Chain A
Amino acid sequence: MLWDIDIFSEMERLRREMNGLFSNYGQSSGSATYPLMNVYDDKDNIIVTAELPGLVKDQVEITFSDGILTVSGKQQPLAKTKNMSVVRKERPEGNFEKTVRLPTQIKQDAIKASFSNGILTINMPKAEEVKPKTIAIEAK
């Protein structure tokens, strides 16, 4: 039957297009999927967290330039011991880099980062001029 071959290719095209949409989601670049990140906005700070299980702080580098935050490093390969065989390998290894464009201005000198249980937390205070301000209403 010819008709269902047409539908088949049309559905395949749609699937590819949607997959492309999903892969662009989030507007980050580099190896877009690793590490996984969250970005929070809590009035005074932008907080970025990244999941980097198995890494320690010396294996991760954080740079900030021109409104762009970059997290990079290297996942160590599995330590091989004598006669060891790898039955299953799912955890990533090798170099990674991910950049995030921040939605607002940051006080660069006050950026702080911490690492706990495989989660990297980067705290970035907002620049004074972009913080929300309460405007007092003067009585006439």
Chain B
Amino acid sequence: MKSLIPWQKGQKHAAPVRSDDWFGRWWEDRGGNFFPALKNSYSNHLPSVDVTEDKKEVKVRAEIPGMDQKDIELTWHDGILKIQGEKKNEKEEKSKDRYYRECSYGSFSREIEIGRNVNWEKAIAKYKNGVLTVSMPKTGASQKLIDVHID
């Protein structure tokens, strides 16, 4: 199983400038994570997920605090689980004087590649304490080991 979130390169030391496009190289070396401090605390529109797998099922746990269950939408397409919804901030509408805000609001969407070896029709989703848990039973076929013949 793979995931679709952006892949981040490890921090590199300044490499000798060889290319003419030195700015592009410099930018790319940071893997798009230009200001890590800003990214860590203020760009969390994507819910954080844990994905675990055992013989029976694949389980996804996503952190989406403060939602109504009905506002979370789950879709399945070709081995990819999509979690989307809109996070509203009711307090902000009531309170005129806002001091300080770290939490992000608005629509979010995240795609997680699970693969085709699960039975999506039998998946179970639960939302509790701000965490969405999606359990997807594996289909029988994936449990068999395939013999590989070496000539």
Spell out A's residues near B (CB within 8 Å).
Answer: 1, 4-5, 7-9, 11-12, 15, 18-20, 22-23, 25-26, 32-33, 36-43, 46-47, 49, 51-56, 78, 81-92, 103, 116-119
Contact indicator per residue, chain B 26-41, by CB within 8 Å of chain A (1) or not (0): 1000100011111011
Shortest CB-to-CB span from A45 to chain B, Å, is 9
CB-based contact B96/A42 at 8 Å:
yes
Q: Report the contact-size class of chain B (Cβ under 8 Å from the partner).
A: 35 or more
Q: Is the CB of A54 within 8 A of B52?
A: no
The distance in angstroms between the C-alpha atoms of A113 and B130, with both chains bound, is: 17
* Cβ of A17 to closest chain B Cβ, rounded Å: 10
If over half of B's interface residues share one DSSP class (helix, strand or loop), that class is named, otherwise mixed; here it is mixed
> How many whole Å from B109's CB to the nearest CB in chain A?
16
Q: Which A residue sits closest to B44, measured CB to CB?
A: A36
Residue from B41, B58, B91, B131 within 8 A of A32 (CB atoms): B41
Identify which of A7, A88, A103 contacts B3 (C-beta below 8 A). A88
Q: How far is the CB of A77 from chain B (nearest CB, A)?
A: 10
Task: Give the residues in chain A near B40, CB-CB below 8 Å.
Answer: 33
Which chain A positions have C-beta within 8 A of B66?
51, 116-119
Interface centre among B3, B95, B96 (most CB of A within 10 A): B95
Given A87-B58, A90-B48, 6 additional A-B pairs, CB 8 A: A4-B22, A20-B37, A26-B100, A42-B97, A53-B129, A53-B131
- In whole angstroms, what is the CA distance A116 to B128 when docked? 10
A52 touches B130 (CB 8 A): yes
Specify which chain A residues have a CB less than 8 angstroms from the CB of B131 in the assembled complex. 53-54, 118
Residues of A within 8 A of B129 (CB): 53-56, 117-118
Contacts of A87 in B (CB 8 A): 1, 51-53, 58
Tell me whether A81 and B54 are in contact (CB under 8 A).
Answer: yes
16 A–B contacts, CB within 8 A, in A order: A18-B35, A19-B35, A23-B37, A38-B89, A38-B98, A39-B101, A42-B97, A43-B97, A54-B130, A54-B131, A55-B129, A78-B50, A84-B54, A87-B1, A90-B50, A117-B130
